[in-house]
Amino acid sequence: MGKVLMKGNEVIAEAAVQADCKYFFGYPITPQSELVAYMARRLPEVGGLFLQAESEVAAINMVYGAASAGVRVMTSSSSPGISLKQEGISYLVGAELPAVIVNVMRGGPGLGSIQPGQADYFQATKGGGHGDYRIPVLAPSSLQEIVDLMQAAFDMADRYRTPVLLLGDGMLGQMMEPVEFPEKQDLDLPAKDWATTGTRGDGERKITNSLRLDPADLEVHNNHLQQKYATITKNEVRYEMYLTDDADYIFVAYGTVARIVKSAIQKAREKGIKAGLIRPITLWPFPELPFLETRDRVKAYLTVEMSAGQMVEDVRLAVNGRKPVHFYGRTGGMVPDSDEILAQLTQLAGGEQ
Amino acid sequence: MLHEILIAGFGGQGVMSMGQLLAYAGMIENKQVSWLPSYGPEQRGGTANVSVIVSDKPIGSPVISRPSAAIVLNNPSFEKYEPLVMPGGVLISNSSLIDRKSRRTDITVIEVPASEIANQMGDPKVANSVILGAFLEFSKVVSPEAVIESLKKVLSSKNQHLIPLNQAALEKGAEIVLQGV
């Protein structure tokens, strides 16, 4: 299969199919409806099952059921629909069930707009539902990167028995770029001996459950989950560093905004301002290392988001007061352009000279 | 080489498809391409625009704030995008549908009576190919051959017979530019 020109939402769907996802439960919402439509057409071709649920709440609980049976399963939605799924995600975490959830973010709060946004960062990375938990969050910034990260999402879900969130936005979902789907690689993943597929009299009863009424028992379970999060934090952090070696100013941005920032960096360098970019690819676990490496040599960081300032809090934790961390954001579905980002940097660079 | 092309018109005028053909043709020629549509609550008759970038380097922002080329197919799009064309850029309008005239002297303005030409050719639907032909002749972003190749892939088997007509329309558009109208 050579290069094909596809829409982001279709790439997410096809990449999931390529990653052996056979079950999809969802409910359409702009700007990710093409993903649902693609799955409806494509999954029957590979012997899978597509079901349009009556609501987002139903869809995530169908995911719980399918994941309990040990199959690769996905659901997708956009911001308001992802809020509805939070209870189910917390249950998946409690029962340690692998699944992939896709959020193609739009402007909020409430029903908000249908234009691109990044205002669900807190919800995505700090737990989202109730209880002490985190789930891995992967944020692709190009359509080709979706292909790589979708495979990683399903693998991480199975390896750690956790839901994994792929976080994009309306721009990523709606745009087209050429993509290539590489040959699949065999991975050494643990067998799903916990799956509730029937015991056939050959062992203990298998149960998937998130209810533990004995607090001592539940604390043991929480400790186990926290250990799992420590392992994920140790093994799974991903990020990109772009022109940071000689940079006086380092942008921090993820997803599509990181692309716009790269254009601003090119323009800044033409003007003689040495700028670079740290692009977190996993938003949780958040990459701290690139900040430890750069914070003693840069003048300042500038975080750019399509939100009122969410990831910037994690940036400030990583920089830990060693350098100023500035913020520029647009909200409501407004997309910043490279010139306005450049203007922010120019002001910052001028103000410190 | 970096072309930032904005195409705008009414929904249903073929704005998205025209952009897709350009992006597809760029991909065939091994260039970097991106295609980003407006996707508001729009439908047939509403406004629609698409941003297409064709470059020899990896594409950063798929968002275009100052297009190097704007192709406008109706009056509202002319009013919105004519002032935004980058100095030294090009504005191409379907002058059969647009009565506005550009006063800018720092850009190239090409007026193509595309709908009239398409009607003379017997099919009003090839107006966009006429426009595209003019744009390709002027900008050389991609070759007309690559566009035809893309059409072969995009059109279903029952519509393949439309390719010669579209090829002729591309040539008509190119003639407009060659004649310096």
ipTM: 0.92
Of A178, A256, A263, the CB nearest to B33: A178
A4-235 and A242-351 in the same fold: yes
B31-59 pLDDT, tens digit each: 999 999 988 766 666 789 999 999 999 99
Residue A8 and residue A172 in contact, taking contact as beta carbons nearer than 8 Å: yes
Domain A242-351: which CATH class? alpha beta
Domain boundaries, chain A: 4-235, 242-351
Six-digit token string for B105? 């002297």
Q: How far is A282 from chain B (nearest CA, A)?
A: 20
What SS3 state is found at A340? helix
Q: Which one-letter DSSP state was computed for residue A25? A: E
CA distance B14 to A126: 43
Determine whether the interchain pair B33/A5 forms a contact, defined as Cβ–Cβ distance below 8 Å: yes
Which residues of chain A neighbour B23 with C-beta distances below 8 Å? 5, 176
| Cis before A285 (ω within 30) | yes
Residues of chain A whose pLDDT is less than 50? Answer: 353
The confidence score (pLDDT) of residue B153 equals 87
Is the CATH code 3.90.79.10 the one for domain A4-235?
no
The structural domains of chain B, with segments of one domain joined by +, span 2-178
**Nearest-CA distance A6 → chain B (Å):** 10
Q: What is the pLDDT of residues A272-318, one digit of tens each?
A: 999 999 999 999 999 999 999 999 999 999 999 999 999 999 999 99
Residue B1, SS3? coil
**pLDDT for res A199:** 81
**% of residues, chain B, pLDDT over 70:** 97
- A123 in contact with chain B, both atoms CB, cutoff 8 A: no
Cβ proximity of A344 and B70 under 8 Å: no
Mark yes or no for CB contact B35/A5 under 8 Å: yes
Task: Give the SS3 label for residue A326.
Answer: strand
Per-residue pLDDT, A353: 44
d(CA B111, CA B134): 9
Query: CB distance from A240 to chain B under 8 Å?
Result: no
CATH class held by domain B2-178: alpha beta
Rounded to a whole number, what is the distance in Å from the CA of B106 to chain A's nearest CA?
A: 21
pLDDT tens readout for residues B123-138: 999 999 999 999 999 9
Q: Is the peptide bond before B144 cis (omega within 30 degrees of 0)?
A: no
Among B39, B40, B61, beta carbon nearest to A259: B61
Q: Which chain B positions have a beta carbon within 8 Å of A259's beta carbon?
A: 59-62
Chain B: closest CA distance from residue A200 (Å): 51
Q: Which residues of A touch B61 (CB under 8 A)?
A: 259-260, 262-263, 337-338
